[in-house]
Amino acid sequence: MVVHRPGQVVALDSTPLPVKVRESVFGEPVSVMLSLALDLYTHSLVAFRLTLVSDTSVDIAMLLRDVMLPLPMREGWGEEMEWPYPGVPASVVTEFAGHRVAALPFFAPETVTTDHGGPYKSHHLVDAQEVLGCNILPARVLRATDKFAVERAFSSVKTLLLEHLLGFTGADVADRGADPEADALLTMSQMEHVIATWIVRVWQNRVLGEYAPAWGPGEEHSPNSLFAAAALQGGLDLEIPAPELYYQLLRGHHVKIHQGRGVKILGLWYHDPLLDEDRFRGPSSRGGRKKGLWLVRSDRRDRRAVFFEDPDEPGHWHVLRWTGLPPQGEVPAFSDATAQALLAEVRALGLAPRSDADLLPTLLKILGSAIPVAQWPSQMTKREKAGRSRRTAQAAAAAADRPAPEPGDPEGLPVARVMPWPAEASAVERAVDVERRRCREENVAPAPSLPPRLGDSVRRRNLFALPDDDSEARESS
């Protein structure tokens, strides 16, 4: 394939970041995954993601969405890092995006080249690419030339940036220091900011060398200059996707709607008063293999709710909350792994809950296992700390990707944020207290009222008080 315009082919790949970073819950040094999206024409790093857990299909789908979204300016970035491309002034792009846009190209990818990893071959990612209108072009087996550019980009990022940071591990023991875990200084959010700043300021303005275009022999070009030349030749397509694209890229489930209970997604029940309306009593108008079923989408990083598009109002999405959530208080976000552990624990105990509300104590037991003294941070293993940090980081990433609810909209989920260990432990403890109080109020009968004291009826009126004239006249009549 001959690539002759930006966005024609975008290569995706993931690799472990060769730098130890500090996770934000316990502050322990951990390894993270770096996912890159590289435009093969301009060699621009149009999007990247850091994930504390191995990248999943939803992470790659959101990476493709990032390719289509303009990168907002960040704190500390100067005017030299703002949108510089000719043809479209920065003020016009700012008006379209709603914020100041950094000097990084954005476009709708036409063809996506990936390897044969699990997240890239999943049905979920195939559906997401169909929503975006992309063509899937997997790299051929044992053909390094199909994806050489993104592999070289990983090597260049490591040579030019990562090996100069504290906590660098390198490819082998000869490249690292005596104790890279002790040298780790940057948190995950700080590392993300450093990489974003380096891409916009250095990578996009770096001379490409042998990657110069064929139509400009002997000329020096950078990713920014190539994109600017392509913009002068063919123009720019300022198509910025709507925030609702987030819901369309999530994993879809075709299910039935049960009146009074809602929908069952991967073992958990979700409900909203909307589903009790008469228009949802029968099957849907869908035909084909999923005839009569309703489409509900879920984010595997946060299983507290799923999302349902109103068939009468296209583009309006409703949040269906898990029926096990308490009416008051906030339950920390939990992922697919925690939901599977919850269902496995219930099966192992031989429980037959009448509703998902009966599962909440077991979930809080799993989430709040750090409350006993034996499970304090000093007693937890490194693997247990990493698992809890991954769950918190996934919830924060899901909340960052999810569109913010409109002012006055009661729907939505509490904002998931990365909290240090004391704050997270206290949040779980508050959720446990609220659940215990609710169960106690439901199961304990109300206290009976105290009987009146002896002589209360006598004390209410004075036996020696004389009646007034009006009362005497009413008694005589």
Domain ranges of the chain: 9-241, 246-443
Out of 41-45, 47-51, 395-399, 438-442, least confident range:
438-442
**CA 371, 374, 379, 385 torsion-angle sign:** negative
Overall fold of domain 9-241: Nucleotidyltransferase; domain 5 (3.30.420)
Mean pLDDT of 463-470: 56
Q: How many CB atoms lie within 10 A of CB 16?
A: 11
Mean pLDDT of the chain: 83
Mean pLDDT of 29-36: 92
Contact at 8 Å (CB) between 83 and 104?
Answer: no
Does residue 143 register a pLDDT over 60? yes
- Residues with Cβ within 8 Å of 87's Cβ and at least 6 positions away in sequence, in order, are 231, 232, 235, 236
Tens of pLDDT along 100-142? 999 999 999 999 999 888 888 889 998 998 999 988 888 888 7
CA 9, 11, 17 angle in degrees (round to 5)?
Answer: 160
Out of 43-47, 141-145, 227-231, 271-275, least confident range:
141-145
Overall pTM surpassing 0.95 (yes/no): no
Q: How many CB atoms lie within 10 A of CB 72?
A: 13
Cα 150 from Cα 223, distance rounded (Å): 14
**371 falls in which pLDDT band (50, 70, 90)?**
very low
Cα 387 from Cα 370, distance rounded (Å): 13
Contact at 8 Å (CB) between 418 and 396?
Answer: yes
Separation in Å, CA 153 to CA 5, 67, 105, 159, 175: 19, 17, 17, 10, 19
Separation in Å, CA 147 to CA 116, 164, 213, 229, 245: 12, 26, 18, 24, 28
Q: Is 261 left (phi over 0), alpha (psi -120 to 50) or beta?
A: alpha
Separation in Å, CA 189 to CA 51, 183, 333: 11, 17, 19
Mean pLDDT of 243-252: 93
Q: How many CB atoms lie within 10 A of CB 120?
A: 22
Express as a percent the part of the chain with pLDDT over 70: 84
Mean pLDDT of 68-81: 92
pLDDT of residue 208: 84
Contact at 8 Å (CB) between 15 and 9?
Answer: no
**203 falls in which pLDDT band (50, 70, 90)?**
very high
Place of tokens 């993300």: 192
Does residue 17 register a pLDDT over 70? yes
